[in-house]
A and B are shown apart, each in its own frame.
Chain A
Amino acid sequence: METMSPVERVLRTFEGKPVDRVPVFCAMLESRTANEVLGKPLISSQRSVGFPLTRLFLNALGPRATGPFTRPILAGLLHRRNAAQVALGFDAIWAYYDDTWFFLDSKTIALTTGSLYNVISDGFGNMTYMYRGPGIKSPEDFDAWPHWPRADEVAHRVFRYYKRFISRYGERACIFGCGFFGGLQESMNWTFGIDKAPLWIRRHPVYVKRFLDIVEEVTLKTHTAILDAGVRVVVQMDDFAYKTGPFLSPRMIEEVFGERYRRIIGNVKGRGAKFVLHSCGDNTKLFDLFLQWGVDGFHAYEPTSNVDIYEEKRLHGGRATIIGGVGIDYLLTERSRDEEIVEKVRELIERLAPGGRFILGPAHSEDSIPAHKLRVMLEAAHRYGGYPAAS
């Protein structure tokens, strides 16, 4: 078979059509890995945010500094992480662009949807974040939250970013667009607290509805913006599960999110694009529901969760594209041996490539992933992934 372009290879895989080899997907990159690929920036993000004057500035101005100061920095950081995925040579990349994060003070960043994160070092000279907790702890907090996202403004900026990105990289990789952090359930978990979200559903259904209305509107509009910019695949992050199963019962997930997701996915597919759902953890009990919503492909299949990627291929591989399979808990860390990565890639391809609809890739991104381990994975996928040998 003739060598295909990355875009053709990936889109044909979603259709279940023959391709020249198994495509390889990059599930975002953190700054550490991006810097290894692109070279370090002149001033690291950790130093620029940690500089005493910057801290003074952020503490004094807080959210007011977002537009003129932090947004361009954030945009630059995210762009490096996206461009590095292309530079590594992946067929498909998860291009994440969401500039609605803002500094509350020099130690706290927040999402417009009401969750708080510590500004921390990643241990490699870069600024990163770690979830601190909910920004909204009561209905009164909800009513008083002044930062709710303005969907149209967010969508305009997302459109501009992806338009430029596609014009520069659109031929080199199939771009999976993602213009707003968190899906419906995940956003709710961050905003209200994972351990409090079920209590909100039960005790404050009106506020849950108001919250989901906001997130759905931004999601719909950013997806439309991404598609208008020329992106052909939308990836939506929404962690519905954890290590051993879903947070909520499938029945409750359908009740609370079902109709909304049908609208969100319908919007994407109505434009002829593909919809990929990234959901960490063991989603075994949810895949049928997700398929009813219209999802085209699933990403993660974390090896540390109880999900069985091979069984999922058997059950759903005829309808959905399976994306992922390579663990970041051990294989894509300094602790593994390169031969172990090669062996796992070979096994995944042998067992999942026949019949198509399989895109190999890491289950997630983390600072612990060295670039050279991704290169080992890529080379192994290129070596063993050729069709029809794999099928």
Chain B
Amino acid sequence: MKQSLLDIRNAVTEIRDEDFNALVLRCLQEGHTPMEIVEEGLARGLEEVGRRFEEGEYFLADLILAGDMVTGATDMLREKMPAGETGRKGKVVLATVQGDVHDIGKKVVGIMLGASGYEVIDLGTDVPAAKIVETVRATGSSMVGLSALLTTMVHGIGEVVAGLVEAGLRDRVKVAIGGACCSQRLADEMGVDAFGESAIAAVRVFDGFRDGAAI
């Protein structure tokens, strides 16, 4: 790997954000394509951050700091990418269920999914089930990630599942949940396909959906 790509990867891995954008620009000037920088530099670096997070060496704040670096760089590179190169792994609709406005976990999941090659359609917080179902239909997405923090709002998960069934979409759409009040028990109770415990686990969950379903 070229030194400049390695520098980007290492900067992300070690969460060194000083002059990071200049490093990315230098890489472009050296002739690397935006996709090379994303895949070989940013994504690899973020993968390593994720690994260190799972091993307990890094913490949520480190994911946020690294995610901020990668998001800033990706936004800069996206303008220079040919159409169709972004979101190659498919579209994921993310939302915090109706009645709940907590979204830190969902934001971090979105960053990790985006950096891993997914096109993330983040509908925000307090989202009615009907809007989520309509977005799935309109975008052709086959994956949905729902966030819920409050026990009082978990019925919103069931409403999305019921909405997908009613719209005849459930068979082709995988649904995952995450958030403070979520558990495998709740996933089973609500009839969703998976529960992701952390942002890094969420990437595995959606990769698993892809492996098991034609996108």
Bound-complex Cα distance A285 to B56 (A) = 9
Bound-complex Cα distance A40 to B185 (A) = 34
B64 touches A333 (CB 8 A): no
**Contacts A242-B180, A245-B60 given; does A330 touch B185 at CB 8 Å:** yes
Contact stretch, chosen from A158-166, A191-199, A263-271, A342-350? A191-199
Which residue from A118, A246, A328 sits with its C-beta under 8 Å from B59?
A246
Q: Does A15 contact B (CB under 8 A)?
A: no
A243 touches B197 (CB 8 A): yes
**Contacts A118-B101, A195-B104, A242-B180 given; does A366 touch B151 at CB 8 Å:** yes
A271-285 contact mask (Cβ, 8 Å, vs B): 1 or 0: 000000000110001
Shortest distance in angstroms between B112's beta carbon and chain A's nearest beta carbon? 13
Contacts of A318 in B (CB 8 A): none
Contacts of B59 in A (CB 8 A): 245-249, 252
CB closest residue in chain B, given A243: B180
B152 touches A123 (CB 8 A): yes
Which residue from B61, B101, B151, B152 sits with its C-beta under 8 Å from A248?
B61
Q: Does B150 contact A (CB under 8 A)?
A: yes
B60 touches A242 (CB 8 A): yes
- Residue of B62, B101, B152, B182 contacting most chain A CB atoms (<10 Å): B152
CB closest residue in chain B, given A203: B17
A304 touches B198 (CB 8 A): no
Which residue from A194, A244, A305, A333 sits with its C-beta under 8 Å from B151?
A333
Q: Does B86 contact A (CB under 8 A)?
A: no
Q: Does A44 contact B (CB under 8 A)?
A: no
- Residue of A246, A330, A366 contacting most chain B CB atoms (<10 Å): A330
Shortest distance in angstroms between A185's beta carbon and chain B's nearest beta carbon? 11
Bound-complex Cα distance A248 to B180 (A) = 17
Bound-complex Cα distance A305 to B17 (A) = 31
CB closest residue in chain B, given A305: B180
B105 touches A242 (CB 8 A): yes
CB closest residue in chain A, given B182: A304
Shortest distance in angstroms between B71's beta carbon and chain A's nearest beta carbon? 11
B151 touches A195 (CB 8 A): no
Q: Does B39 contact A (CB under 8 A)?
A: no
Bound-complex Cα distance A252 to B17 (A) = 17
Bound-complex Cα distance A243 to B151 (A) = 14
Contacts of A202 in B (CB 8 A): 17, 65
Bound-complex Cα distance A199 to B59 (A) = 14
Q: Does A130 contact B (CB under 8 A)?
A: yes
A368 touches B151 (CB 8 A): yes
A329 touches B101 (CB 8 A): no
Residues in B172-195 with C-beta less than 8 Å from chain A: 179-183, 185-186
- Residue of B65, B101, B102 contacting most chain A CB atoms (<10 Å): B101
Contacts of A367 in B (CB 8 A): 152
Q: Does A71 contact B (CB under 8 A)?
A: no
B60 touches A246 (CB 8 A): yes
Bound-complex Cα distance A132 to B59 (A) = 24
Bound-complex Cα distance A111 to B180 (A) = 23
Bound-complex Cα distance A197 to B181 (A) = 23
Shortest distance in angstroms between A343's beta carbon and chain B's nearest beta carbon? 16
Q: Does B68 contact A (CB under 8 A)?
A: yes
Bound-complex Cα distance A242 to B101 (A) = 16
A132 touches B101 (CB 8 A): yes
Q: Does B113 contact A (CB under 8 A)?
A: no
Q: Does B107 contact A (CB under 8 A)?
A: yes
Bound-complex Cα distance A367 to B17 (A) = 42
Bound-complex Cα distance A132 to B62 (A) = 24
A295-336 contact mask (Cβ, 8 Å, vs B): 1 or 0: 000000010111000000000000000000000111001000
Q: Does A148 contact B (CB under 8 A)?
A: no
Q: Does B108 contact A (CB under 8 A)?
A: yes
A199 touches B68 (CB 8 A): yes
Residues in A109-142 with C-beta less than 8 Å from chain B: 118, 122-123, 130-132
Shortest distance in angstroms between A219's beta carbon and chain B's nearest beta carbon? 22
B101 touches A249 (CB 8 A): no
Residues in A362-385 with C-beta less than 8 Å from chain B: 366-368
Shortest distance in angstroms between B151's beta carbon and chain A's nearest beta carbon? 5
**Contacts A202-B65, A243-B197, A246-B59 given; does A304 touch B181 at CB 8 Å:** yes
B198 touches A243 (CB 8 A): yes
Bound-complex Cα distance A245 to B182 (A) = 15
Contacts of A118 in B (CB 8 A): 101
Bound-complex Cα distance A384 to B17 (A) = 56
A179-216 contact mask (Cβ, 8 Å, vs B): 1 or 0: 00000000000000011011101100000000000000
CB closest residue in chain A, given B153: A368
CB closest residue in chain A, given B150: A366
Bound-complex Cα distance A67 to B101 (A) = 28
B54-89 contact mask (Cβ, 8 Å, vs A): 1 or 0: 001011111011001000000000000000000000
CB closest residue in chain A, given B102: A131
Which residue from B152, B179, B198 sits with its C-beta under 8 Å from A366?
B152
Q: List 6 A-B contacts (CB under 8 A).
A: A130-B100, A130-B101, A195-B64, A243-B197, A305-B180, A329-B181
Q: Which residues of A contact B (CB under 8 A)?
A: 118, 122-123, 130-132, 194-195, 197-199, 201-202, 242-249, 252, 280-281, 285, 302, 304-306, 328-330, 333, 366-368
Give 11 new A-B contacts, CB below 8 A, not counting A243-B198, A247-B61, A249-B61. A131-B102, A199-B64, A199-B65, A244-B197, A245-B60, A247-B60, A249-B58, A304-B183, A330-B151, A330-B185, A368-B150
